[in-house]
Amino acid sequence: MPEGYEPLDDEAHLASLGYKQELSRNWSGFSNFAISFSIISILAGCFTSFGLGWNNGGPAAIAWGWPIVAAFIMVIGFCMSELVSAYPTSGGIYWWASKLGGPKAGYYTGWLNLIGLLAIDASVAYGCASFFDTFLGYYSDSWAAGYSLTRVFIEFIVILALAAAINIFSSHLLAILNNISVWWHVIGSLVVVAILWFFLKSGAHHASLSDVFTKTINNTGFFGGHTSGWGFLLYVLPLSAILTQYTITGYDASVHLSEETKSAANSAARGIWRSIFYSAIGGWILLLSFLFAVQDSDKVSEGGGSVFAIFGQALDPKVAGLVVLISTAGQFFCTCACMTSTSRMFFAFSRDRAVPGSRYWSRLNAKKVPVYAVIAAAVIALLLTLPALVKVDVNGAPVPVAFFAVVSIGVIGLYLSFGIPIFLRWRAGSTFRVGAWNNGRKYRWMNLVAVIEIAVMSIVGLLPTLNVGVPWVDGFSMKYVNYAIIVVPVALFALWIYWHVSVKHWFTGPITTIGSSTSTDQEPEPTTA
């Protein structure tokens, strides 16, 4: 038993929140950090969503935008850490909102969080499939020549199935994979950076500081492709921020696994902010290495702003294949971790009867895994990604509009679900009973900054990323539409109807699984972060 760990402390804290210990509490603080770090996955987001930054601002937008947006996300993380320390429960984000704002706040928060997690599952698994297919293409000309969206989608299904199987049949293997994932991301990222700095192919060179930090690009078709003026500053550049916002997300996994984590009031809180901090630093170094390896920015744009275009310019094919393999493995680790986080949220929300068919999604197998929740998460992720079967080219360049749309849905769903309890905690003020880890009086400005940033980025996530995705523009086609603007409002409207027609008549928020007589008021002595 780890030194300093007293099982009754965690169980008593959970009992005070109304729940008995059902899940196995065998995750260490490092494992809790590891799963959030794995889901953030700079080997996934920085690679797969690089085009969002490149096409909507170019090198300068990525080089400057990443640290600026990451600083705001760090503030959000600190706010989340304070909340999980006070309320370390699976599905905690929904639980926080219910505790602080009532059943209606909890209902919307829970559904937004679940929708966001499902979209993240879809985007990471599809990105993994795309990279795996490209990796094989580096080593087989016939494989590369036979590329098709259908083949990638089949690989996507296989990856979802593998991730689901690991989650269902081997929680021990899952914990090992998460721990390995941390070192894979650290060492793998260092290897990629070293390759891009010291092993460029013959004749290749590094870009200048000016090329990286001042060059701007507008491949959206908006505002005539200009890279100056208010339209570029207020519309195009904010779209590039989705690269950072998408990559540094999923750290709520530390919350969802808190009921399985030892010394959760401290460990889960640290898991959140540390995973953000280290990912922000590592991601910036990685992205700058990409940018300095660019040989011809026009050719990168012709390649849809993809990192593959950069690797093709700067590296020999076999070396490029190694870089893609490192990223692909990181993305698979990320997919498994995302599935774990989603299934735990699905389980917790269903435990409180908030999801139709909840008796299935909250059912645990002999290994104490919510097996049906895992399967449902995989199937929904598959359905959400079906538009990726439609080929989309813009000026001859392949642009993964469907992938970017799923990314936006994930960002909007997750961050809106974060924003509701963060706002409610701010509104509660000094009446909020803090946990062992807290922000002290700094919450007064930190929570407001977090809510404003979330509101702005949620609006940005709904915006069209291509001018031909706007109905009144010549050349418009539905395949160019950022369908987040359809999915998110429709989902919210459906939830609104469901609430008023049915849910409000019977839903009372979290359902306790333990009698009030077993609860305790004993809490650890608060310390200021």
For CA atoms 357, 359, 364, 366, the dihedral sign is: negative
Q: Encode pLDDT of 350-385 as tens digits.
A: 877 888 888 888 887 777 778 899 999 999 999 989
- For every residue of 259-292, DSSP letters joined together read GGBTTHHHHHHHHHHHHHHHHHHHHHHHHHHHHH
CA atoms within 13 A on the CB side of 64: 14
CB 267 within 8 A of CB 261: yes
CA atoms within 13 A on the CB side of 247: 37
How far the first Cα of the chain sits from its last, in Å, is 27
Residue 81 predicted with pLDDT over 90? yes
Average per-residue pLDDT in the chain?
Answer: 87
Question: Rounded to an integer, what distance in angstroms lies between the CA atom of residue 416 and that of residue 192?
Answer: 33
Higher pLDDT residue, 292 or 35?
292
The answer as to whether 522 is a domain residue is: no
Give me the pLDDT at residue 7, please. Answer: 41
The answer as to whether 401 is a domain residue is: no
The answer as to whether 1 is a domain residue is: no
Give me the pLDDT at residue 306, please. Answer: 92
Give me the pLDDT at residue 19, please. Answer: 67
Provide the 10 A C-beta neighbour count for residue 511.
12
Mean pLDDT over residues 75-104, rounded? 90
Question: Rounded to an integer, what distance in angstroms lies between the CA atom of residue 423 and that of residue 83?
Answer: 11
Tokens representing 249?
């997300």
The answer as to whether 150 is a domain residue is: yes
Give me the pLDDT at residue 79, please. Answer: 96
Question: Rounded to an integer, what distance in angstroms lies between the CA atom of residue 89 and that of residue 159?
Answer: 29
Mean pLDDT over residues 485-504, rounded? 91
Q: Encode pLDDT of 407-433 as tens digits.
A: 889 999 999 999 999 999 999 999 998
Closest CA to 174 of 353, 61, 333: 333
Higher pLDDT residue, 264 or 96?
96
Q: Encode pLDDT of 211-237 as tens digits.
A: 999 999 999 999 999 999 999 999 999
- For every residue of 335-385, DSSP letters joined together read HHHHHHHHHHHHHHHHHTT-STTHHHHT---TTS--HHHHHHHHHHHHHHT
The answer as to whether 270 is a domain residue is: yes
Q: Encode pLDDT of 297-313 as tens digits.
A: 999 999 989 999 999 99
Give me the pLDDT at residue 82, please. Answer: 95
At 159 the three-state DSSP class reads helix
Give CA separation, 453 vs 66, 69, 245, 415, in Å.
14, 9, 10, 9
Query: Taking phi first (over 0 means left), then psi (-120 to 50 degrees means alpha), and beta for anything else, what does residue 470 get?
Result: beta
In the structure, how many helices (H) and strands (E) does the chain have?
23, 6
Question: Rounded to an integer, what distance in angstroms lies between the CA atom of residue 250 and that of residue 341?
Answer: 8
Mean pLDDT over residues 258-270, rounded? 82
CATH number for 303: 1.20.1740.10
CB 266 within 8 A of CB 436: yes
Instruction: List, in sequence order, every beta strand (DSSP E) within 360-504.
Output: 393-394, 397-398, 437-438
The answer as to whether 210 is a domain residue is: yes
| Amino acid in position 185 | H
Mean pLDDT over residues 147-155, rounded? 92
Give me the pLDDT at residue 5, please. Answer: 37
Question: Rounded to an integer, what distance in angstroms lies between the CA atom of residue 82 and that of residue 341?
Answer: 19
Q: Provide the domain count of the chain.
A: 1
The answer as to whether 249 is a domain residue is: yes
Residue 134 predicted with pLDDT over 70? yes
Mean pLDDT over residues 439-461, rounded? 95
The answer as to whether 481 is a domain residue is: no
Which pairing describes strands 393-394 and 527-528: parallel, antiparallel, or unpaired? Answer: unpaired
Residue 276 predicted with pLDDT over 60? yes
Could you give the dihedral angle defined by the CA atoms of residues 126, 349, 514 and 171, in that order, rounded to the nearest 10 degrees? -10
What burial letters (b/e) apply to 384-408, b meaning 16+ CB within 10 Å?
A: bbebbeeebebeebbbbbbbbbbbb
For CA atoms 371, 373, 377, 383, the dihedral sign is: positive
Q: In this prediction, what percent of the chain has a pLDDT beyond 70?
A: 91
Question: Rounded to an integer, what distance in angstroms lies between the CA atom of residue 82 and that of residue 475?
Answer: 49
CB 54 within 8 A of CB 301: yes
Range of 68's domain?
Answer: 24-215+223-390+415-456
